[in-house]
Amino acid sequence: MSHLSFPDVVKKIQQTEKRFATAAYDFVRRSLDQSLRKFGKNEQPKPSHVRGHQLLEGFRILALQEFGPLSKTVLNEWGIENCAQVGDIVFQLVQHGVLGKSETDRPEDFQEIWTFKEAFVIPFQPSMNSFKKSKACREVAPPSSNRRKRKTGSSSPTKKS
């Protein structure tokens, strides 16, 4: 493992890799913690490894918990636009000794399991059923026929000659 602090490692990575904001690296690291908590329940008391798809699931859950409908916007702002880029960050951290990996871990483990639209946009789009159930979307009654009709003739302004 690295003898540098996490922020120092990120600064070192960013000297050559400019795609991702500092916050992106921290978020991926916190996603790993989320994944270890979620997927480690059936394993050893203190699991130390998760697969790529498990880390992505922790990433998705944490983003939705922290940012809700703004998840995609925040992640895109940090430079993360798809699952493969999460894998890029993970493997940069592995390369610099912050994270470990097993012999079977590969960048391909982070290929599109889901799109960011599927994970972070679609869950917040209203469905037709929600429109039907919504009080705000009740049918609007047609205008009443006994409303006053506009008078024509004498009430309109006339031009004096």
60: tokens are 């998705």
Question: Residue 96, Cβ neighbours under 10 Å: how many?
Answer: 17
Question: What is the rounded CA–CA span in Å between residue 49 and residue 118?
Answer: 26
**Ramachandran bin of 154, using left for φ above 0, alpha for ψ from -120 to 50, beta for the remaining angles:** alpha
For the stretch 6-54, pLDDT in tens is 999 999 999 999 999 999 999 999 999 989 888 765 555 555 679 999 9
Model pTM score: 0.75
Task: Specify the pLDDT at position 157.
Answer: 57
Q: Which has more pLDDT, 103 or 88?
A: 88
Q: What angle do CA 96, 58, 114 make, to 5 degrees?
A: 100
Task: Specify the pLDDT at position 132.
Answer: 61
Q: Which parts of the chain fold into alpha helices (H)? A: 6-16, 22-39, 52-67, 71-77, 83-95, 116, 128-133
Please give the backbone phi and psi of residue 57, each rounded to the nearest 5 degrees, phi first. -65, -45
Residue 99: closest CA among 15, 31, 21 = 31
CB 81, CB 75: distance < 8 Å = yes
Mean pLDDT of the chain: 84
* Choice among 57-66, 68-77, 127-136 with the minimum mean pLDDT: 127-136
